Amino acid sequence: MAQDDFKHILVGVDDSPDALAAFQYAIHRAKADQAELIIASILESDEMNVYQALSKDYVHGERADLEQHLSEYVKLAEKAGIAKVRAVIGEGDPGETIVKTLIPKYQPDLLVIGASAKTGLAKHFGSQAAYMAKHAPISVLVVRE
């Protein structure tokens, strides 16, 4: 194995075209490096109003939708020939959750993310990608569509 091969690649996905491009790159890189692919999505609490946040049914429904969405990504990765794939869900602010929770927990050596934030407060107050690139303790690859 070459020195610059990655063993565990974490890719953040959402509904944006940039995230899909990041996912496609992560599959390519994981296949080339024979790396484990960890596909992460974040349940953003700031996207819910107070009534939705208090409703267990609403939160459960959102999580179920996210789990279904992630299972489709897992199937695509497996179909592309990635041997080790797993999906994880975090909750809260996407950038902070990935940097402060998911990276320490799963110990990836590369984070692949899309460049744009189309939803949530991030579109008003700066880019999640910029936050992760600045604060992640590992290499970060930002993919633009």
The pLDDT assigned to 52 comes to 59
**Res. 123 pLDDT band, cuts 50 70 90:** low
Element (H, E) at 131: helix 128-135
| Range list of H helices, 12-125 | 17-33, 50-54, 56-79, 94-97, 103-106, 122-125
The pLDDT assigned to 4 comes to 74
Question: Model-level pTM?
Answer: 0.85
Least confident range of 23-27, 41-45, 68-72, 132-136:
41-45
Is the predicted pLDDT of residue 121 greater than 60, yes or no?
no
- Partnered with residue 43 across adjacent β-strands are 91
C-alpha–C-alpha distance, residues 25 and 141, integer Å: 10
What are the pLDDT digits (tens) for 64-120? Answer: 888 999 999 999 999 999 999 999 999 888 999 999 999 999 999 999 999 875 555
CATH number, span 8-143: 3.40.50.620
Structural domain boundaries in the chain: 8-143
- Partnered with residue 8 across adjacent β-strands are 36
C-alpha–C-alpha distance, residues 98 and 13, integer Å: 11
What are the pLDDT digits (tens) for 33-52? Answer: 999 999 999 988 665 555 55
